[in-house]
Amino acid sequence: MKELYYDQINEKIYTETLSNGLRVFILPKQEMAKTFAIFTTNYGSIDQSFVPLGKEDFITVPDGIAHFLEHKLFEKEDRDVFHDFSKLGASANAFTSFTKTAYLFSATSRIMDNLKILIDFVQDPYFSEQSVEKEKGIIGQEIKMYDDQPDWRAFFGTIKSMYQHHPVHIDIAGTVESISHITKDDLYTCYHTFYHPSNMVLFVAGNIDVNETMEMIKTNQAGKTFETPEPITRKFPNEPANVAQKQLNVTMPVNVPKALVGVKEVDIPEDPKAFMEKEYLMDIVMDALFSRSGASYEKLYEEGLIDQSFSAETHLDKDFGFSIIGGNTSEPEKLAESIKQELLQLNETKLDQSTFERIKRKKLGHLLRSLNSLEFIANQYTHYQLLGIDLFESIQWLEQLSYKDLQNFLSSWIDEERISFCFVKNEE
């Protein structure tokens, strides 16, 4: 077991990679009443084409299968695992993102019992033809619920407008049509390939004893057998740098129309430090322009183009990345065009050195504030771990960023061909 001490934030993490390849991280925080644990596999909605464990040829599985698998893991032959947690006073949940599937719980007592339930249910799948068919109806309802949510439609619409081939443009839950093709055997194939311990991270944070926790996890894992790990081969299509379409319209009933602007990223660095710096810089630019203290925000607000719903966010991952800016507006075309102009005219007067230093400070303060939350720590530490980055280590990279770094970034960041619009409006 290795001890990592982070002097600046005064936190300690204990870590070990077990013989089956599972990476375990433990962050003890005795002051907290709660413990939060999250068990994550490096497998999300974009992992559709891959070589199954022990095979040689690529296969492609239906859209939405990672999310489907997440649902099915909770259901066992004789029970629903949610009840196992609630009997012990814990609350459990799970989520599927583009690149990850995670299972989690929080509790203030009987932590070792809860932790055992978490590990065991994820490592003991039970899929039957019958239960797979039943789930198609339930997930179909969930997909329809998302279809009724204008914000979700706008978000995915924007991603679709940017990405032509890369599976990030496919809805995480798939479609009613795509999930209809999922079989029990597909689920087992995906499970055996991606839920191997060597592809997973277990993070436990909170009111726990480090040795007791590590011992429990090791004993648990030693009692199970897994196939010999192999590196997983995944395949992603070539994605052009330019956006797929400059404008995408979604028609559905809305009280107020929506306009979102997408900026597609290219040249995503492989080096962890360079990757992290790029992500910080994207965040800083978004914040400097479009947060409540931003110059562009003030202008758009004065012009009456935006309201409280306006926001800007960034996503950066191994081989895709984007920023999305916008919100509700009575003049969607005008708002989108104004945002685009703000981006194209981005220069050093708008983003001067003092603005840069101000936003950097804000980011640092907000990062510290996030560390109040065990959930944030465990989620984000795992997220960056899977990208080969130590989140706590990276705080100093943010502090060290210079205005020169920002200037270099800005010199090649914006390209009109990588900007797209998505509108959500009522039928005319």
Partner 1 sequence: MEKLIQKQGYDLHLLHTKKFKTINFSFKFTTNLSRETVTNRALLPYVLQQGTTNYPTATKLRQKLDELYGAILHIDSSKKGEKNITTIRLELANDRYLANQDSLIEDGLALLQEVIYSPKTVDGGFDPKILEREKKTLKNKIDALKEDKMNLANTRMIEEMCADEAYQLRVHGYEEDIASISAVQLYEYYQQLLQDDHLDIFVVGDIENTPLESQIDTIIARNEQTAIEKTKHTTKEKQAATLIEKDKIQQAKLHFGYRTNITYDDSDYAALHVFNGLFGGFPSSKLFMNVREKHSLAYYAASRIESHKGLLFVFSGIAPEQYEKARQIILEQMEQMVAGEFTDQQVTETKEMTINQLKETLDNPQGMIELNYQRILAKSDKSPEQLLKEVKQVEKEEIVKVAQKIKLDMIYLLTSEEV
Q: Binding to partner 1 by residue 109, rule CB under 8 A?
A: yes
Q: Binding to partner 1 by residue 18, rule CB under 8 A?
A: no
Q: Which of 313, 315, 326, 240 is nearest to 278 (CA)?
A: 315
- Annotate each residue in 270-299 with x if it binds partner 1 (CB under 8 A) or - if it does not, as one string: ---------------------xxxx--xx-
Q: Binding to partner 1 by residue 180, rule CB under 8 A?
A: no
| Shortest Å, Cβ 362 to partner 1 | 4
Which of 361, 408, 416, 426 contacts partner 1 by CB under 8 A?
361
Segment near partner 1 (CB under 8 A); pick from 16-24, 85-93, 219-227, 340-348:
85-93
| Shortest Å, Cβ 299 to partner 1 | 10
Could you list the active site residues?
70
Two structure tokens written together for 53? 């464990």
CA distance 249 to 154: 9
Closest CB to partner 1 among residues 86, 407: 86
CA distance 169 to 179: 16
Two structure tokens written together for 280? 């910080």
Q: Binding to partner 1 by residue 22, rule CB under 8 A?
A: no
Q: Binding to partner 1 by residue 31, rule CB under 8 A?
A: yes
Q: Binding to partner 1 by residue 315, rule CB under 8 A?
A: no
Distances (CA, A) of 99 to 172, 215, 357, 383: 10, 29, 32, 9
| Shortest Å, Cβ 292 to partner 1 | 5
Look-up of token digits 């998302």: 146
Q: Binding to partner 1 by residue 365, rule CB under 8 A?
A: yes
Sheet holding 200-206, edge to edge: 2-6, 11-17, 23-28, 200-206, 35-41, 101-107, 91-96
Q: Binding to partner 1 by residue 33, rule CB under 8 A?
A: yes
Q: Binding to partner 1 by residue 335, rule CB under 8 A?
A: no
Distances (CA, A) of 10 to 4, 7, 203, 365, 368: 11, 5, 18, 15, 11
Task: Tell me how many degrees the CA angle 405-410-416 measures, rounded to the nearest 5.
Answer: 160
| Shortest Å, Cβ 275 to partner 1 | 23
Which of 4, 15, 21, 34 contacts partner 1 by CB under 8 A?
34
Which of 364, 402, 407, 417 contacts partner 1 by CB under 8 A?
364
Task: Tell me how many degrees the CA angle 51-56-59 measures, rounded to the nearest 5.
Answer: 40
- What's the sign of the alpha-carbon dihedral 236, 241, 245, 247? positive
Q: Binding to partner 1 by residue 144, rule CB under 8 A?
A: no
- Annotate each residue in 210-249 with x if it binds partner 1 (CB under 8 A) or - if it does not, as one string: ----------------------------------------
| Shortest Å, Cβ 296 to partner 1 | 11
Q: Binding to partner 1 by residue 114, rule CB under 8 A?
A: no
CA dihedral defined by 77, 48, 317, 350, rounded to 10 degrees?
-120
CA distance 59 to 48: 8
C-beta neighbour count of 188 within 10 angstroms: 14
Closest CB to partner 1 among residues 10, 238: 10
Segment near partner 1 (CB under 8 A); pick from 196-204, 225-233, 316-324, 372-380:
372-380
Q: Which of 271, 415, 284, 267 is nearest to 351 (CA)?
A: 284
Q: Binding to partner 1 by residue 91, rule CB under 8 A?
A: yes
Task: Tell me how many degrees the CA angle 274-276-281 measures, rounded to the nearest 5.
Answer: 95
Closest CB to partner 1 among residues 12, 292: 292
Q: Binding to partner 1 by residue 8, rule CB under 8 A?
A: yes
C-beta neighbour count of 78 within 10 angstroms: 6
Q: Binding to partner 1 by residue 371, rule CB under 8 A?
A: yes
What is the contact surface with partner 1 in residues (CB under 8 A)?
8-10, 29, 31-34, 86-91, 106-109, 255, 291-294, 297-298, 307, 358-359, 361-366, 368-369, 371-374, 399
